[in-house]
Amino acid sequence: MPQAPSTSYRRAPRPHWICLGWLVYPYLFLARDETLNLSWLSIFGCLVTGFILLHGIIAAHELGHIIAGQTAGIEFSSFHIGSGFKLAEFNIAKVKVTWKLFPSYGFVRPLQSRHLLSLTRCTLFFAGGVIAEILMGWALWYTYSHENLHDLIWSVPLVRYLFITAVIFLIATIGASAWPATHTIEGIPLDNDSLLIWKLWTTRRDLPTKRRLLENWQRYTELIATGDIVTASDHAKRLLLENPDDPAIHLTISRLFELQGDLDDAREILERILKKIPKASPFRTQALDLLVCLVLNYGKTEWLEDANQWSIQALEEAPDSVTLKGTRGSVLAELGRNPEAQTLLHEVMNSTESDNDRAYCLAYLGWIDAQRGNYTLANEKIEKAKAFKLQISAVPRLEKIIAALGNSPAAAS
């Protein structure tokens, strides 16, 4: 998968261990051969090396996207493999690499550039993963057709197991990429490679308009970077007027207005576009979530009842969304309905893969602990929330509230 959206998980992810089924199927082929007489140690060795192989195939697919994208002049910000427990996170040449335990999926995230609006460059980028897998398939076919290597495959159980695992997993991943469909990545509906290419070519007449929009957007971000907030705000408003029905622009600009402290403008932008977004669109729940976060992040208690309604509406439209459950739990905590809040927040902590979700949940669970007088546990949760190093204004806000509760006369007594 070339990229993943940055917000709003749409449904709870499947258990991570389901992907390990790919390690069982090849073993069934070996079990049918009574001449092998595999020991438990041999079986364990097959499973471990097969587990590593699945990671390698997914990584090769994503590297195919990166190599193809860089050939086309596209740069990248992140490279992500796997789900579940985080094994490692580091940077390579300004690309953030994240590696997790279970080999269930992968994605890369490109940096915004004009090359993403080029038919040929984007087609090469999107097809890079499948091209890498086809090359791996050719290597397997060559290995199998070579007389000496063919004998090695069938005479050594571990090699046979890895070969069968690679063939089955490659067929599955090529099919998942080549057949146009929307898959779920970390609970987010995401178009696969072939569907991205199909949409790119069927909407190619819109590319000139998109290029003008990108130029205007880049001008806006340059003004923000230079600190010219007044001119940037005027430019942003022109962008909104020129693109009155584009939810992505409205959501992004509302977020920037929020970060500048213009909460009333941010709310007005979100409420205006919310009226135009159809209920089936994921942008709708994102807009509702952003509206609620204006209250959670900045303590706008005068909007709390509105936030209550927004969070209810969002969950009604996407009842399985993990992120929206966390948002609802946070609102319940703001309303003082702590038992209900705890139930939802703990549920999200146990199911989400988003650090953003975890940070919110920890901060609000810490606040609930502080209200019960457990300031040590509350501060521990706040520190864990801060450790994610995310720009979430709710965390320092709740940290101050917890500190004030801990220093109050009631706490001292």
Which range has the top average pLDDT, 206-210, 276-280, 284-288? 284-288
pLDDT of residue 297: 94
pLDDT of residue 34: 65
Q: Is 311 a residue whose pLDDT tops 60?
A: yes
83 vs 72, which has greater pLDDT?
72
pLDDT of residue 17: 67
215 vs 54, which has greater pLDDT?
54
Whether 265 and 273 have beta carbons less than 8 Å apart is answered as no
Q: Is 266 a residue whose pLDDT tops 70?
A: yes
pLDDT of residue 376: 92
H or E element: which one contains 148?
Answer: helix 147-155
Phi then psi dihedrals of residue 102, to 5 deg: -95, 130
Long-range contacts of 182-186, Cβ-Cβ distance < 8 Å, separation of 24 or more:
183/1, 183/105, 184/10, 184/11, 184/13, 184/14, 185/1, 185/4, 185/105, 185/107, 186/4, 186/9, 186/13, 186/83, 186/105, 186/353, 186/354
14 vs 171, which has greater pLDDT?
171
Q: How far are the Cα atoms of 56, 246, 251 from residue 273, in angstroms, in the given order?
A: 43, 8, 8
Predicted confidence band of residue 166 (pLDDT cuts 50, 70, 90): very high
Q: How far are the Cα atoms of 35, 44, 379, 413 from residue 160, in angstroms, in the given order?
A: 14, 15, 53, 70
pLDDT of residue 225: 73
User: Could you give all domains of the chain from N- to C-terminal order, each with its CATH number?
Assistant: 16-202 (no CATH), 244-412 (1.25.40.10)
Please tell me the distance from the alpha carbon of residue 87 to that of residue 94, in angstroms, as a whole number.
19
Note the pTM of the prediction, 2 decimals.
0.69
Please tell me the distance from the alpha carbon of residue 373 to that of residue 338, in angstroms, as a whole number.
14
pLDDT of residue 153: 84
pLDDT in tens, 282-302: 889 999 999 999 999 999 999
Which residue(s) pair with 108 in the sheet? 79
Across 82-99, average pLDDT: 89
Across 358-387, average pLDDT: 94
Please tell me the distance from the alpha carbon of residue 251 to that of residue 239, in angstroms, as a whole number.
12
Please tell me the distance from the alpha carbon of residue 1 to that of residue 221, in angstroms, as a whole number.
27
Please give the torsion angle defined by the CA atoms of residues 155, 158, 164 and 170, in that order, rounded to the nearest 10 degrees.
-140
Which range has the top average pLDDT, 8-17, 45-54, 358-367? 358-367
Percent of the chain at pLDDT above 90? 49
pLDDT of residue 16: 63
**Given the structure tokens 């909407």, which residue do they identify?**
203
Nearest C-alpha neighbor of 272 from the set 256, 260, 296, 290: 290
Whether 105 and 130 have beta carbons less than 8 Å apart is answered as no
pLDDT of residue 95: 92
Predicted confidence band of residue 54 (pLDDT cuts 50, 70, 90): very high
pLDDT of residue 396: 94
pLDDT in tens, 99-146: 998 898 899 989 888 888 889 999 999 999 999 999 999 999 999 898
5 vs 191, which has greater pLDDT?
191
pLDDT of residue 187: 54
Predicted confidence band of residue 35 (pLDDT cuts 50, 70, 90): low
pLDDT in tens, 229-247: 777 777 777 778 888 888 8
Predicted confidence band of residue 24 (pLDDT cuts 50, 70, 90): confident
Q: Is 351 a residue whose pLDDT tops 90?
A: no
What integer best gives the mean pLDDT of the chain? 85
